[in-house]
């Protein structure tokens, strides 16, 4: 096994019903926390992207609207296209959907390698850490996702809990096997399944918003 390029085949022995169930529960809990934070603490909706847009707007000299670049999205049927609902022409929906599904396939194939890299960075050797250090690493795991410019701060805070679940999976596997390698692969499997479910949920929501 090439440790620098983990694939779904490498993770197959580690993906069990428990892994899938844990990923589903973790995702549902994460979404609930994000929703609660959005409502109760609106300031946590901020992201790097929203800050960038805020700076652009504060300049006052630049007024940009999406319709300036994609006027067809502003009024579907008025531009001579079959909208099929939602005000977006069919000739925009179809290539957007096809391209999105192709990109989704690329993302899904790459997920194990990225998840494995994160698990090696944040979980490996954590069996030797005390509770305080483990908590600090979980906090760092969540907040480092703020570097993804579209992630609101609320999502990063919710991911602190997800990191705790991945850590628990690592420690459970390590106690059973006493092998860092197998423990990392086990937490990587959970992390990867979680990411697939999260991306699938996001893709379904975007397609629904496009076609509804």
Q: What is the mean pLDDT of each run of 10 residues along the chain (212 residues)?
A: 81 96 97 96 91 73 46 43 57 75 87 96 95 97 92 96 97 96 97 95 83 77
Asked whether residue 60 is assigned to any structural domain, the reply reads yes
- Please give the residue range of the domain that contains residue 163: 8-211
Q: Which residues contact 41 (CB under 8 A, 6 or more apart)?
A: 154
Asked whether residue 2 is assigned to any structural domain, the reply reads no
> What is the pLDDT at residue 66?
45
Q: How many domains does the chain have?
A: 1
Asked whether residue 163 is assigned to any structural domain, the reply reads yes
> What is the pLDDT at residue 3?
66
Asked whether residue 3 is assigned to any structural domain, the reply reads no
The pTM (predicted TM-score) of the whole model is 0.81
How many other C-beta atoms are found inside a 10 Å radius of the C-beta of residue 137?
18
**Distance separating alpha carbons of residues 81 and 103, to the nearest angstrom:** 25
Asked whether residue 1 is assigned to any structural domain, the reply reads no
């Amino acid at each position: 096994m090439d440790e620098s390029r983990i694939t779904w085949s490498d993770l197959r022995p580690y993906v069990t019903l428990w892994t899938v169930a844990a990923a589903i529960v973790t995702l549902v809990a994460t979404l609930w926390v994000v929703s609660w934070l959005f409502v109760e603490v609106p300031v946590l909706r901020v992201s790097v992207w929203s800050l960038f847009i805020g700076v652009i707007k504060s300049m006052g000299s630049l007024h940009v609207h999406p319709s300036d670049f994609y006027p067809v999205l502003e009024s579907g049927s008025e531009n001579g296209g079959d909208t099929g609902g939602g005000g977006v022409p069919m000739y925009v929906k179809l290539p957007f959907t096809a391209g999105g599904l192709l990109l989704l396939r690329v993302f899904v194939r790459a997920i194990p390698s990225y998840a494995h890299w994160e698990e090696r960075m944040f979980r490996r050797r954590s069996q030797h850490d005390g509770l305080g250090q483990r908590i600090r690493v979980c906090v760092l795991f969540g907040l480092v996702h703020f570097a993804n410019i579209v992630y609101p701060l609320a999502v990063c805070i919710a991911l602190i809990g997800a990191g705790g679940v991945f850590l628990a999976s690592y420690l459970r596997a390590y106690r059973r096997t006493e092998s860092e390698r197998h423990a990392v692969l086990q937490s990587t499997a959970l992390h990867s399944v979680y990411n697939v479910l999260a991306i699938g949920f996001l893709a379904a929501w975007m397609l629904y918003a496009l076609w509804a």
